Amino acid sequence: MKGTVGELGEFGLIRELTSRLTTTPAVRVGPGDDAAVVAAPDRRVVASTDILLENRHFRRDWSTAYDVGRKAAAQNLADIAAMGAVPTALLLGLVVPAELPASWPSELMDGLRDECQVAGAAVVGGDVVRGDTITVAITALGDLRNHEPVTRAGAQPGDVVAVTGWLGWSAAGYAVLSRGFRSPRAFVEAHRRPEPPYHAGPAAAGLGATAMCDVSDGLIADLGHIAEASKVRIDIKSGKVDVPSQMNDIGQAVGVDPLQWVLTGGEDHAIVATFPPDVKLPARWKVIGEVLNPSALPQVTVDGAPWTSKGGWDHFGDDPATGGGQAGTGGSGGLGGFGGEIES
C-alpha cells in the first residue's frame, strides 16, 4: 500500500479494505450491499458500539495501525463476551484524512480482522469518509447460544467475585510508555494489544454467573458498575489479587504501587463476574472477593475499607496520568458510553 488515502481514492480504498477481509459461516451477506446479514441462531443479537479518536484513544507514535485495529476490535468484542455471548461480527465506521498514508487504514483493517478471528467473528461491513481526525467507530455483534444475557444487575449478597484474564498490564505498559520507555516489552505489548478472554464470557454464563462485565475502566470502577446496578457492596480481598513479580519491578522503577495498576488499571479487558458461592470455577478464574449487603461504605471496598489511592478513571480529566491507559483509551477520557458500559 503506497501513497495516501486521497491518492488511492474512494473506490480504491474500499476495494483495498474489503480485499483484506475473511469470512465465517455466520456471515450470510458480507460487505458490498446496503447492509450485512449475520446469523443469530439464538433469536437474539447482542450489540455494542464504541468510538475512538486519534490522540484521545490512541496515538500513532505509540501504536501501529495494526495494533489500533486489534485493540479497537478487542474492546468491543470483549463487551459482547461480557454479556455471555459469542462474538459474531464487527462493523467499522472510519474517518480518515486524505493525506493519511493508505497503509494506515489497510493495516487497521488487518488488525480488526485478526482480532475478530481470535474471537470467532468477522468484519462484515463499514463506512469510510474523509475528515480531519482519524476516528474509528466500531459496532460488535454476538450470539447468546441460549444463555440468558448476564447483565450487571444480578449480583446477590453471598456471591463470590471472580476474575479471569489480565489485570493492570495495560496500565503498567502505559506507565512505561508515558515515561518515554519502550520496555519491558510484555507490558508495552499488553497496552498496545489487550488479550480479552473471550471464551470466558459465555463459559461464565453457562456456570451461572449472576452479574458480569469486562474490565475496561479498572477493576474497582467496573465492579462499581456491578455494585450500583445490583444494589450491593463488593469487597475485594487484596491478598487474593495476584500482582505479577515483573510488575513489582516496574512499580519500583517508576514509583507506583503495582497493586494500584491491578485494582484501577483499565483496558486489559479481563472479565469479572459474580457467582453463587457454591460455583466450581475453571482453573483460570480467580476468586478475589465477595458480594455483601449495601452499607454506608463505598460500593466497592478493598479489605473492607475504601480504596484510598487514585482509583479508576477520572472521566473528566483530559489526560489520565496513572492507573489507566493512553489518552483515555478504551474505557476512558471521553464522555462515556451507554448501552455499553460507561465508556465501554
Q: Is 110 assigned a ligand-binding role in the annotation? A: no
For residue 144 the three cell numbers come to 447468546
188 or 232: CB nearest a copy of itself: 232
56 or 70: CB nearest a copy of itself: 56
Quick check: 30 binds a copy of itself (CB under 8 A)? Answer: yes
The answer to whether 74 and 193 are in contact (CB under 8 A) is: yes
Q: Is 127 assigned a ligand-binding role in the annotation? A: yes
Residue numbers 48-67 binding a copy of itself by CB under 8 A: 48-53, 56-57
34 or 61: CB nearest a copy of itself: 34
Question: In angstroms, what is the minimal distance from the CB of 247 to a copy of itself?
Answer: 26
Among 115, 214, 235, 268, binds a copy of itself (CB under 8 A): 214
Q: Is 235 assigned a ligand-binding role in the annotation? A: no
- Residue type at 288? I
Question: In angstroms, what is the minimal distance from the CB of 157 to a copy of itself?
Answer: 21
For residue 298 the three cell numbers come to 463505598
Residues 6+ apart with CB under 8 A from 34: none
Among 2, 43, 280, 296, binds a copy of itself (CB under 8 A): 43
Quick check: 100 binds a copy of itself (CB under 8 A)? Answer: no
Q: With CB under 8 A, what is the number of residues at the site for a copy of itself? A: 89
Residues 6+ apart with CB under 8 A from 256: 175, 250, 322
Do the strands 300-302 and 270-275 form a parallel or antiparallel pair, or are they unpaired? unpaired
36 or 188: CB nearest a copy of itself: 36
Q: Is 125 assigned a ligand-binding role in the annotation? A: no
Residue numbers 141-200 binding a copy of itself by CB under 8 A: 141-142, 144, 149, 151-153
Beta bridge partners of 91: 125, 139
Q: Is 57 assigned a ligand-binding role in the annotation? A: yes
How far apart are alpha carbons 98 and 13 in whole angstroms? 11
Q: Is 104 assigned a ligand-binding role in the annotation? A: no
The answer to whether 305 and 236 are in contact (CB under 8 A) is: no
The answer to whether 126 and 136 are in contact (CB under 8 A) is: no
Angstrom CA distances, 82 to 87, 129, 169, 181, stand at 10, 31, 19, 33
From its phi and psi, is residue 170 left (phi > 0), alpha (psi between -120 and 50) or beta?
alpha
141 or 188: CB nearest a copy of itself: 141
How far apart are alpha carbons 15 and 103 in whole angstroms? 13
Quick check: 208 binds a copy of itself (CB under 8 A)? Answer: no
Quick check: 25 binds a copy of itself (CB under 8 A)? Answer: no
Q: What is the SS3 assignment for 151-189?
A: CCCCCCCCCEEEEECCCCHHHHHHHHHHCCCCCCHHHHH
Quick check: 341 binds a copy of itself (CB under 8 A)? Answer: yes
Residue numbers 223-242 binding a copy of itself by CB under 8 A: 229
Quick check: 297 binds a copy of itself (CB under 8 A)? Answer: no
For residue 300 the three cell numbers come to 466497592
Quick check: 113 binds a copy of itself (CB under 8 A)? Answer: no
Annotated binding site: 34, 48-50, 57, 79, 126-127, 152, 214, 216-217, 267, 313
Annotated binding site for Mg(2+): 34, 48-50, 79, 127, 214, 217
Annotated binding site for ATP: 126-127, 152, 216
